[in-house]
Structure 1
């Protein structure tokens, strides 16, 4: 009997824990929505209990209803962002209607109304845009709405760059690009905080990379509805990132089909020469894609999808490198150590190199018996590009090729007036090609890197009663990074014995003041 009671007690505790967890998740993760509250009064200033308050989203027909309490107050939490129509009705009074209300992500405005005596069928309409005042949030923030997301110039169309113009934000120094992750990650310091101290949320789900602490790839501008940057005295829900919070919302379908096709081109053929160098840059970037959204079932089921492809090509000229000259391979290091090759300073070489006086130009003559040269080093020299002058200097260009493919899909389903579901999937695939040209091994500085981000959010919102809403968000983020180094040769190919290669045909080498094979 005691054992049975103990098990029953455990079941009750588990159920209670799940119930509390459900509402805790609603408090912590319902960041992609908005909330309104207010009070309804009559013309004398007396509060009106029992008023039915309805918010209707203009684009989807979504409705949420509340009834004012004995103090005339109401609360409508967890409302999707977008334009709304506000309506307050009570028998014996004219219906109050207000349009031009736009709820933004993570906003908590107050909307009050005054009802006039009359018939319910009579309406008092306010059509001017509502001035919404934030009254509940302790943080300081700004919203980057869809118009600015689309219209403000963005180099590379990276939405995260807009955070820098939202106020109190600067780009940090610990920016992670190629080599750490395959996709660009920008460390942004907000209000003097750490670069990795910003909490990113997309559609109410966490959107941070657990490896770096930075945000992962955001949707491209045409697929993003808006985002909000907040800092300073943030609620406890942002406790795992101390600096700031960025809450973003993807676009969703509406009762009207809408979409677009786009291409953005940056090409050096369109540019003028640099005034200092009289040359053009080498960047060629093509970004193209499109979006489409609309209804599957009017007022109930909607879809939205979009894709963007980015193809970027450029070339850079690294600092000059130095390789063995034909004279050095024959054992003559006189020119290598001369003043001409060392900025006017005679280089002093040590044994086994021997000096044999000075030449007609005053340079010390250095020679070494060719038999003392390392066979492995000679084999390596055969695989290096030929020197372009007597000092061993060589110059070359490196080609850079990066591709990025970002897709977003979202479905919203209004089961009933009290119950709604949504699911959003984001897939971002980045392919950074290696820069080895297949001929000159010194062109190699980075391996091919393929990075993929899968981000899925499922949201369920149920209105238990007008002032109590259960909101559940489940998030799955998966990031994979795979490096593929090119194959050229390894130490065994050079004749070095007893060497294990984890990746055959590949090794790295740095020769101080000489050349680098690195990636």
Structure 2
């Protein structure tokens, strides 16, 4: 799965001829490109006025990340307005400077996915060097569209309860309009929560990680499963009025933004244990005749680490998780296995045949007759093979490795480079399946000043099942 998307926004053109030429260029780009990039950032905008309410022109506005120290600068226009686009999620401070006025500083300002922060700055006249600091957040508004969405920031992601497998998509089940599907319903698949949004099909959900397609190309659902919420910076569910830039699906858009490093080294470690010693019999176990909880041992352990490679310039974030499950199946009853008498007849009549030998080696003798028989014709004779039922259980084991790595580099005042790699290696015993979907993302973001702003991304995803790769 490969996608290349380019996002361009024209904020201001000086002449009508340039506007027409720009429109033609954009139409040509639309025809040539698969689609426009989905935003994984936010912006800070506002106005700067003096004590009388008049606009302050050419005031210097500095937006600085409190986590990475990276700063972006702009100036106010003739109406005192400013806008700083394509800011990664996180906390920022805003400094406004203008000769003859006191320096204004506001923060921390927390940016969420696709939620713009709006500031109304009023500068005070000052004859001496003076700084006014405002400890306050900004008004979070969405001034560009009518999307209906629910955002889960990093703290909510880590604190809200998830299912036993800690699949991050369980967060969507708490969003209005989302209903969970159960096994047996149309579209149900294994490997994660199944849900319908506003009555749409399961396949109508569009999963994205860092602005890139993360849908499974073969079945419904997301290809890259995330069972470690510590790597998620924000989880967003759009249930209505989503923009055409997302495309593809009509039910919902699930957008996940992964964490990046900062100027401080930060990490986490965890170990979750679940087993029969910590559980009790369920009603189903009691009805099935169990006297004790079936044996089960599950361990999920791992951690994350992020920090600077070069302060204020290059950062990394990595995670690793090991997940093992060991249990005994509850048992399956098979009707139609030959009884001991039936096995004797099969051995006598066709024991030399490979098919009969394979059947006798695979199935033990049925202990409970079911009052039925199978008819066998061989050598002109007809034989009745008595049948019965057998019940047995087998052990099950799962070994799962999940890992991720992300790097972010500040190339210049106008260019950022980021790369993310994720891998999920899941092996089940007895099935002969090994399904390691992996995604590799490279993004080059160029937050240029007007009139152009651009983002270029590249994605490769691959899923392998039973040695057969599914990728493009």
Match of 1:8 in 2: none
Max Rg structure: 1
TM-superposed CA distance for 1:139, in Å, is 0.7
Q: 1:89 to 1:19 in 2, by over 3 A?
A: farther
> Equivalents in 2 of 1:72, 1:43: separation in Å?
13
Residues 471-511 of structure 1: CA deviation (Å, up to 9, x unaligned): 21111112221269xxxxxxxxxxxxxxxxxxxxxxxxxxx
Residues 296-329 of structure 1: CA deviation (Å, up to 9, x unaligned): 1111011111111111122223442131112334
Match of 2:214 in 1: 207
2:213 pairs with 1:217: no
TM-superposed CA distance for 1:227, in Å, is 1.4
2:360 pairs with 1:382: yes
> Equivalents in 2 of 1:147, 1:191: separation in Å?
27
TM-score by length of 1: 0.74
Match of 1:227 in 2: 235
Match of 2:433 among 449, 468, 478: 449
Q: 1:375 to 1:170 in 2, by over 3 A?
A: same
2:459 pairs with 1:462: no
Match of 1:328 among 327, 330, 342: 342
> Equivalents in 2 of 1:87, 1:227: separation in Å?
29
TM-superposed CA distance for 1:153, in Å, is 2.1
Match of 1:89 among 85, 97, 113: 97
Q: 1:483 to 1:421 in 2, by over 3 A?
A: closer
Question: Is the contact made by 2:38 and 2:245 (CA closer than 8 Å) also made in structure 1?
Answer: no
Match of 2:419 among 423, 426, 430: 423
Question: Is the contact made by 1:110 and 1:134 (CA closer than 8 Å) also made in structure 2?
Answer: no
Match of 1:33 in 2: 41
Gaps of 5+ in 2: 1-20, 371-387
Q: 1:83 to 1:389 in 2, by over 3 A?
A: same
Report 1 or 2 for greater relative contact order, CA contacts < 8 Å, sequence distance ≥ 6.
Answer: 2
Question: Is the contact made by 1:109 and 1:135 (CA closer than 8 Å) also made in structure 2?
Answer: no
Match of 1:194 in 2: 201
What secondary structure, in the 3-state scheme, does the structure 2 residue paired with 1:448 have?
Answer: coil
TM-superposed CA distance for 1:405, in Å, is 0.9
> Equivalents in 1 of 2:62, 2:121: separation in Å?
12
Question: Is the contact made by 1:105 and 1:248 (CA closer than 8 Å) also made in structure 2?
Answer: no
> Equivalents in 1 of 2:82, 2:262: separation in Å?
27
TM-superposed CA distance for 1:406, in Å, is 0.8
2:414 pairs with 1:412: no
Pairing 1:118-157 to 2, within 5 Å after superposition: 118-119=126-127, 121-154=129-162, 155-157=164-166
TM-superposed CA distance for 1:455, in Å, is 0.8
> Equivalents in 2 of 1:86, 1:311: separation in Å?
47
> Equivalents in 2 of 1:483, 1:69: separation in Å?
59
Question: Is the contact made by 2:46 and 2:119 (CA closer than 8 Å) also made in structure 1?
Answer: yes
TM-superposed CA distance for 1:388, in Å, is 2.1
TM-superposed CA distance for 1:19, in Å, is 8.9
Match of 1:105 in 2: 113
Match of 2:281 in 1: 273
TM-superposed CA distance for 1:463, in Å, is 3.0
Question: Is the contact made by 2:189 and 2:220 (CA closer than 8 Å) also made in structure 1?
Answer: no
Number of equivalences: 416
Question: Is the contact made by 1:329 and 1:378 (CA closer than 8 Å) also made in structure 2?
Answer: no
Question: Is the contact made by 1:108 and 1:136 (CA closer than 8 Å) also made in structure 2?
Answer: no
What secondary structure, in the 3-state scheme, does the structure 2 residue paired with 1:175 have?
Answer: coil
Pairing 1:478-517 to 2, within 5 Å after superposition: 478-482=462-466
Question: Is the contact made by 1:292 and 1:305 (CA closer than 8 Å) also made in structure 2?
Answer: yes
Question: Is the contact made by 1:31 and 1:201 (CA closer than 8 Å) also made in structure 2?
Answer: no
TM-superposed CA distance for 1:16, in Å, is 5.3
Q: 1:92 to 1:59 in 2, by over 3 A?
A: same
Residues 189-248 of structure 1: CA deviation (Å, up to 9, x unaligned): 222222111222212222112222421224421111111111211111122111111221
With 266-275 and 411-420 compared, the bigger mean Cα shift is at 266-275
> Equivalents in 1 of 2:253, 2:145: separation in Å?
13
> Equivalents in 1 of 2:84, 2:109: separation in Å?
14
Q: 1:208 to 1:390 in 2, by over 3 A?
A: closer
Question: Is the contact made by 2:91 and 2:108 (CA closer than 8 Å) also made in structure 1?
Answer: yes
What secondary structure, in the 3-state scheme, does the structure 2 residue paired with 1:132 have?
Answer: strand
> Equivalents in 2 of 1:240, 1:31: separation in Å?
16
